[in-house]
Amino acid sequence: MPTYRDFVPRQSFQPTLALSPDATLVAYSSNAEGRFDLWILPLAGGGPRRVTLLERQAVRRITWAPDGKSLVFSADRDGDEQYRLYRIGLDDEQPTDISFGTDCQRILATSPFSADSRYLAYAANDRDPTVQDVLVRDLTDDHERRFAPPPGVVFEPQGISPDGRWLLTAGFRSNSDIATYLIDLHGEGEPVCVTTVYGEGLYEPGPWMADSSGFYLITDRWGEFKAAARYHLDDGVLETLAEPEWDVEHIDANGETVVWSVNHGGRSVLHGFHEGEHLPLPEMPPGVVAALALAPGADPVVLLFDSATRPVELAVMDPATGFRYLTDTRPSALRVIEPVAPDAVTYPASDGRRIHALLYRPHGPRPCPVVLSIHGGPEAQERPGYLRAGLYQHLLAQGIAVLAPNIAGSTGYGRTHQRLIYRDWGGIDLDDLDHATRCLRTIPDIDADRVAVMGGSYGGFAALSCLARLPFPWAAGVSLCGPSDLVALARACPPTWKHFVATVLGDPDTDGESLARRSPMAHADAISAPLFILQGARDPRVPCATSDQLVSRLRARGIDVRYEVFEDEGHGFTNRANEIRAYEAIADFLTRYLAASP
């Protein structure tokens, strides 16, 4: 029987890709040798080359300089989310730090360079920890221009227009309230919100049109789901490009070519136009596009591609050869067993709603135990990927099923469903999870007396809430970086998130009582199931002290609690060895309490 480590992918990736200007090299961030370093890979064939050798840092975003001779990237240290910017030439041994000042939250624009390589755009909260400005650096003399956002708005630049006149910037109030701003780099005026006329909603800017006459964006202006659109600068008209009955999730353009992906019930489907005409694209396997980059004519399109039965890979699509993988991260176990793809299921919830979920059934004997796995976010989606570093497939090989629901707050099922969670954490979401336990009792091949609950980040909060507040005979629980105290979470989150946190979670100053009442900490005395808590000592969002407190309270009552603190990690994992050790421990913990008959 394969062990957990036999299911671990050979490497994993950060969700960032950069295609060289001549479309011959792809740059990406991989932990193939322990940390998330910058790598490049030729598309025509040949092995990858590591460009950086970082210590205790992780490469987060990458972009090529327009001349294709160097790259700029952002990186933080031990998951502290304090990003610095670096530049490195293809023949350089070490990157050059091009950041000014102390550590802060520097966010590299998606397309940060001007066409002549002179200017670089990024965001930073160096002036005021609670405000994320946009900065444009003149790389010839290091002079910077700064643009401050309106109150309650977090700026994140998208890109400089090809003619160098405009900087396109997103203005975040929440994940579902994003405006588009234009900054005139030839003038002295303030940033102008060009989507105000359309009211509140999601207007997330994307790439520029080739002639700088407008830009592409993703918007929910026309309904529950996100559409692809074009904005024209001359008349301010917002024109529909594609309005599917599912969310548009990614959009990229190069020259006269634009490609977007649609989240069709969790599976990514690519579409495109070239010179105004429909662009036929090769078919790809069922799976999820985590990032994409394209050359003119979509020749080629490079993807980070994930699927339930194969880990995330670099892949390429081109008209001549169709879809092909550039990497092979498959672990040894997938060569000797048949991995399991999930079934899409729905179950009833309150108010006549139905919850979409993925159910993974093992090949072995029935009825089988099950893990209720809750995604993070909460504004995220459980999709058919090779999740948690192979943990799902390992559990399935041990005869343990997985039910992964997209409860209130999840993306992918419309704006209304996503916003149900706002200022109601531990309310409607917990009710949806209660209905998930009822659903499990109706599935004939599931043993509803052997159910564990697991989650990371928000999912860890939800898992703790299940254990503390739902009258269900839980066999075990796992919380990875999960907040147990919502007041502490609201206060600890990055200072630029203050308005966002108040909108989505609640204001700790005015809503402290209700946040405390919904916190798992307030109901800790009701937790009786064995529990495994994993925490990063440097977590900038979930204070380690709150997990310490929860563990102490539970152990004082004699509850079986395993507690692992990772001294060199933040909110999640940047060290591959830590990640493998953590999920191996989770696998052993869950198998211990679920695999044997009660």
Residue among 484, 505, 538, 521 at smallest CA distance from 423: 505
- Please answer whether residues 505 and 425 qualify as being in contact, where contact means their C-beta atoms are separated by less than 8 angstroms: yes
Strand order in the sheet with 310-318: 288-294, 301-307, 310-318, 322-325
Report how far residue 549's alpha carbon sits from residue 543's, in angstroms, rounded to the nearest whole number.
10
Q: Where are the beta strands (DSSP E) in 23-165?
A: 25-30, 37-42, 49-50, 57-64, 70-77, 84-89, 96-97, 107-113, 119-128, 131-138, 143-147, 154-160
Question: Once rounded to an integer, what is the mean pLDDT over residues 284-288?
Answer: 93
pLDDT digits (tens, 9 = 90+) for 303-324: 999 999 999 999 999 877 899 9
Write down the pLDDT at residue 598. Answer: 44
Q: Residue 580 CA to chain centroid, in angstroms?
A: 19
How many CA atoms lie within 13 Å of 447's alpha carbon, on the beta-carbon side? 21
Q: Show contacts of 190-195: CB within 8 Å, 24+ apart.
A: 190/147, 191/134, 191/147, 191/149, 191/155, 193/150, 194/231, 194/236, 195/231, 195/238
Query: How much is the mean pLDDT over the chain?
Result: 93
Query: SS3 for 202-264, per residue?
Result: EEEEEEECCCCCEEEEEECCCCCCCEEEEEECCCCCEEEEECCCCEEEEEEEECCEEEEEEEE
> The CATH number of 340-594 is which of 3.90.1150.10, 3.40.50.1220, 3.80.30.20, 3.40.50.1820?
3.40.50.1820
Residue 596 confidence (pLDDT): 60
Q: Give the pLDDT mean for 531-548.
A: 93
Q: Give 259-283 pLDDT, tens digit per residue.
A: 999 999 999 999 999 988 889 898 8
For 479, list phi and psi in degrees, rounded to 5: -125, 115
Sheet containing strand 84-89, edge to edge, reads 57-64, 70-77, 84-89, 96-97
Percent of the chain with pLDDT over 90: 83
The residues spanned by each domain of the chain are 340-594
Q: Please check whether residue 225 is in contact with residue 232, taking contact to mean a CB–CB distance below 8 angstroms.
A: no
pLDDT computed for residue 353 by the predictor: 96
Report the C-alpha gap between 11 and 36 in whole angstroms: 10
pTM as predicted: 0.92
The tens digit of pLDDT for each residue in 451-492 reads: 999 999 999 999 999 999 999 999 999 999 999 999 999 998
- DSSP letter at 352 equals G
Contact 378, 463 (CB under 8 A): no
pLDDT digits (tens, 9 = 90+) for 559-576: 999 999 999 999 988 888
- In this prediction, what percent of the chain has a pLDDT beyond 70? 99
Give the pLDDT score at 45: 83
pLDDT at 189: 83
pLDDT tens-digit map of 377-406: 999 999 999 999 899 999 999 999 999 999
Indicate if the alpha-carbon torsion angle 588, 380, 376, 15 is positive or negative.
positive
Q: What is the mean pLDDT of residues 93-111?
A: 91
Q: Which residues contact 370 (CB under 8 A, 6 or more apart)?
A: 400, 401, 402, 403, 440, 446, 447, 448, 450, 451, 452, 594
- The predicted structure's pLDDT at residue 103: 86
CA distance 384 to 583: 19
Alpha-carbon distances of 354 from 105, 135, 407, rounded to whole Å? 39, 45, 9
Q: Order of strands, edge to edge, in the sheet holding 37-42? A: 13-19, 25-30, 37-42, 49-50
3-state secondary structure of 287: coil
Residue 590 CB-density burial (10 A; 0-12 exposed, 13-18 middle, 19+ buried)? buried
Adjacent-strand bridge partners of 37: 30
